[in-house]
Amino acid sequence: MSTNPQTRWFSPGDLNGFLGLVVDNLSIMAFLAAALIGIFGFPADIVFLHMFPGTALGVLLGNLAYTAMARRLARRQERQDVTAMPLGLDAPTSIGLALLVLGPAFLQFRQSGLDPHAAGIATWQLGMASLVIMGVLKFVLSFFGGMVQRHVPRAGLLGSIAGIALVLMGFLPLVEILKVPVVGFTGLGVVLYALVARARMPWGLPGVLVAFVVAALLYYVLGPLGWLGHGYRPPAAWQWRIAWPLPTLQWIDGLAAAVPYLPLILPFGLLMVVGGVNVTESARAAGDDYRTRDILLVEALATLVAGFCGGVAQTTPYIGQPAYKAMGARSGYTLLTGVVIGLGGVLGYLSNLVELVPLSVLAPILVFVAIGITVQAFEATPLRYAPAVVFSFFPAIARMVTIKLTDPTYVPPERVAALLADHARGNAELAVIAVLGNGFIITSMVWASFLVALIDGRPLRAAWILLLGGGLSLFGIIHSVELSGGIYLPWRLDAAIRPLAWQFAGAYAVLAIVLALLSLGGRRQREDG
């Protein structure tokens, strides 16, 4: 190892950074697998042998590129304290993709008559296609990151992702925690003690690692004694699952199936572009001046390569670069993380670790991340826009309720379809909840954006935003009246559900007209005054 501070590969703080970044990535992959296999009955071999290798390859390539960028910056500025940008799987969109796209698609393929393996392959192809679509969108928008930021209010961007965090990353994992409360609640308490209260851990260990170890010990000590009830599952036998993430064109077969999910897929990519701009600014404020376009291009290309090679979860630069810098991490931690995650996807030890670590052990980390994202949505926006942030949460809540109310293991699909089409007593409550939740990310952006315009005293701008929302609603991009959330041509809808589509679109148009008239009245008042 070189002793030259400008060229040495590792510093003492890189170990802490490596442990934190690896656990973050591992927890997301574990939740992805647990959601698909445990909730939706997805074939485990397809997750571990088809999805994991390409997904891990994206993490490897992105971290190698960020490592090289950090070392180049250190040489150019003749500094030894440059910290690489951390890259990993994006938690909100990875979990959202599993719960809102891959899982429901798998169930639809099963209902169409495919056996579990064939349905799993079709869903994998859909996941690859989704990742390629997001990668292309991120690649194009990487050249226009500033423009995106200027035209979409921060309250809309952060509010929409905070809604995902609050209900999908926060509430649903909290339910998993309380299924094994002795383990999960203890782990959550340690996470909150270490990362929210900022207490120092023994020997300076990362709080995430300590919570992980404490919860795992409780699970594997108390579980065999029968003290965890039905929450304990014996670990699976270790097995090598070697699978190379080779390029494939099978994602093309998934493009048609991905079209109905575009209202979810496209905002997921858009959020990562804006997030990349924000984290680059955060790193710049901490003293490391990376070029924004380079950061965005790396994450876009890493996502594209992952999609071409079988991956189903997109990569993103993490917001915590200043935190890694504070713990003394430089560029070695991203190099180590990329190699460990990348090789783990190829050699299969990642899948074994995922099977060894129960969801109740990992879920506390996700709850903390959800809290952090939600808090950031309020801290990073001016206080006067707080109502817009809160307003943007409601569509996400509706989506979460829909997921639970339409779970086919509890409610037969034909019963749900009958409720959606039942207008004997007006619009059925379940139908309204489902329609509000469909396309919820774009809906959250529209709602927050028009309320921000109203707060700024720009009702005409709010009216134009509402007209855009009405147009999106008319074609099912938001407020799709189909339970699957698919897009459509309104005149081709079934007669039983067509009126609901026109009502939602009309609501946006009517409010836009009212606001335009109010703005004219306000303008006359000002002129008379």
pLDDT for res 209: 79
pLDDT at 425 over 60: no
pLDDT of residue 404: 76
Cα atoms in the Cβ-side hemisphere of radius 13 Å centred on 271:
32
**Of 251, 205, 235, 297, whose CA–CA distance to 19 is shortest?**
205
Percent of the chain with pLDDT strictly greater than 90: 36
Identify whether the C-beta of residue 95 lies closer than 8 Å to the C-beta of residue 366. yes
The whole-number pLDDT of residue 146 equals: 66
Q: Which range among 63-77, 372-386, 428-442, 470-484 has the greatest average pLDDT?
A: 63-77
Rounded to 5°, angle at Cα 348 from 344 and 349: 65
Cα-based distances in Å from 199 to 21, 59, 519: 19, 30, 52
Q: By the 8 A CB rule, do 465 and 156 touch?
A: no
Whether 442 has a pLDDT exceeding 70, the answer reads yes
In this prediction, residue 1 has a pLDDT band, given cuts at 50, 70 and 90, of: very low
Inter-residue contact 245 to 54 (CB < 8 Å): yes
The DSSP symbol for 334 reads H
Would you state the pLDDT for residue 6?
Answer: 47
Q: Which residue has the higher pLDDT, 500 or 506?
A: 506
What band does 413 get if pLDDT is binned at 50, 70 and 90?
A: low
Q: What would the 3-class secondary structure string for 356-387 be?
A: HCCHHHHHHHHHHHHHHHHHHHHHCCCHHHHH
Bigger pLDDT: 525 vs 97: 97
Average pLDDT of every residue of the chain? 84
Here the tokens at position 4 are: 């030259």
Contacts 24+ apart (CB under 8 A), 36-40: 36/98, 36/102, 36/103, 36/106, 38/359, 39/99, 39/103, 40/102, 40/103, 40/106, 40/107
Give the pLDDT score at 5: 46
- If DSSP codes are grouped into helix, strand and coil, which group holds residue 77? helix
Q: Can you give the pLDDT at residue 423?
A: 56
What does residue 79 show for φ and ψ, rounded to 5 degrees?
Answer: -125, 155
Backbone angles phi, psi at 200, to 5 degrees: -80, 135
* Residues 33 and 351 sit within 8 Å (Cβ to Cβ): yes
How far apart are the C-alpha atoms of 338 and 280, rounded to whole Å? 20
195, amino acid identity = L
**Cα 155 to Cα 147: distance, rounded to the nearest angstrom:** 16
pLDDT at 65 over 90: yes
pLDDT at 407: 67
Q: Name the band, by pLDDT with cuts 50, 70 and 90, for residue 3.
A: very low
Whether the pLDDT of residue 525 is over 60: the answer is no
pLDDT at 81: 85
- pTM confidence score: 0.79
Answer yes or no: is pLDDT of 518 > 60. yes
Closest CA to 101 of 145, 133, 149: 133
pLDDT digits (tens, 9 = 90+) for 320-363: 677 788 778 888 999 999 999 988 888 888 888 887 878 788 78
Distance CA 168, CA 313 (A): 16
Residue 212 to residues 180, 201, 309, Cα–Cα distance (Å): 15, 13, 31
Please say if the pLDDT value at position 426 is more than 80.
Answer: no
Statement: residue 106 has pLDDT above 90: yes
With bands split at pLDDT 50, 70 and 90, how would you rate the model's confidence at 158? confident
Per-residue pLDDT, averaged over 80-106, amounts to 88
> What value, to the nearest 5°, has the Cα angle with vertex 405 and ends 404 and 406?
95
Q: Range with the lowest mean pLDDT among 11-25, 45-59, 133-147, 422-436? A: 422-436
Distance CA 284, CA 296 (A): 15
Q: Is 465 exposed, middle or buried (0-12, 13-18, 19+ CB in 10 A)?
A: buried
User: Percent of the chain, pLDDT > 70?
Assistant: 91
The more confident residue out of 426 and 189 is 189
Please give the average per-residue pLDDT across 208-230, as a whole number: 87
- What are the residue ranges spanned by the domains of the chain? 13-77+85-373, 388-523
